[in-house]
Amino acid sequence: MERHEALAIVKQQLTEHRYQHTLGVMETAIQLAKRYGADVKKAELAAIFHDYAKFRPKEEMKRIILEQNMPNDLLYYNTELWHAPVGAYLVKTEAGIQDEEILNAIRYHTSGRANMTLLEKIVYVADYIEPGRIFPGVDEVRELAQQDLDKALIKALQNTIQFLLKKNQLIYPDTIHTYNSLIMTIKGEPRE
């Protein structure tokens, strides 16, 4: 699927503000893919579609999570997590994208997971650091992303976990697993 076609599909699903965010994520993902040797076209498409389900009604997302046998523990955590796995499903069924690498990059862009692929890391970090994002800590992650993608991802995860702790919110287990997996990789420890 070409960029203009993908953007036209996504634009119908998003607010103008979220569409501008998506353009920023797309450009950032392309830059990171070039820098780290990932498939640029896959990074572009995953970034374009990463928020495809962001504005779907919560009841629709809940129904899809249950009907498609997605991890139903998602339902106990912040609804902001839901649009990623639901989005991967809808991008496959509605937009016709079948590439599992792209779908997984969409699926895990909010929670992460242990042993993330390069493409998954790129979309996660691109979503976090795109130029329209303004919040404490984002500039440090932007700088790290130019030198070491894993260190940028670790810092983004640390920031996210600290934010959730300060708000007394639950932390989805995959986010903790992502962090632990990256720390073990950096320390050279074996992973399961």
The Cα 128–Cα 138 span in angstroms is: 7
Does 78 fall in a domain? yes
pTM of the complete model: 0.95
Nearest to 101 by CA among 88, 83, 82, 111: 88
The Cα 33–Cα 30 span in angstroms is: 5
Mean of per-residue pLDDT scores for the chain: 96
The Cα 42–Cα 144 span in angstroms is: 23
Does 99 fall in a domain? yes
Does 73 fall in a domain? yes
What is the residue whose two structure tokens read 């450009």?
27
The Cα 40–Cα 37 span in angstroms is: 8
The reported pLDDT for the residue numbered 190 is: 60
Q: Is the pLDDT of residue 192 over 60?
A: no
Q: Which domain CATH number covers 168?
A: 1.10.3210.10
DSSP per-residue string spanning 2-29? -HHHHHHHHHTTS-HHHHHHHHHHHHHH
Q: Domain range spanning residue 51?
A: 3-187
Does 169 fall in a domain? yes
Does 110 fall in a domain? yes
Neighbours of 68 (CB within 10 A): 12
Percent of the chain having pLDDT more than 90?
Answer: 95
Q: What is the largest CA-CA distance in the chain?
A: 45
Mean pLDDT is lowest, of 68-72, 111-115, 127-131, 172-176, for 68-72
Cα Rg of the chain, angstroms: 16
- pLDDT tens digits for range 126-141: 999 999 999 999 999 9
* CA dihedral of 55, 56, 62, 64, whole degrees rounded to 10: -130
Neighbours of 171 (CB within 10 A): 16
Does 192 fall in a domain? no
Banded pLDDT at 157 (limits 50, 70, 90)? very high
134: tokens are 């303004």
- pLDDT tens digits for range 45-86: 999 999 999 999 999 999 999 999 998 899 999 999 999 999
Does 136 fall in a domain? yes
Does 8 fall in a domain? yes
The reported pLDDT for the residue numbered 72 is: 83
Query: How many structural domains are present in the chain?
Result: 1
| Range 17-45 average pLDDT | 98
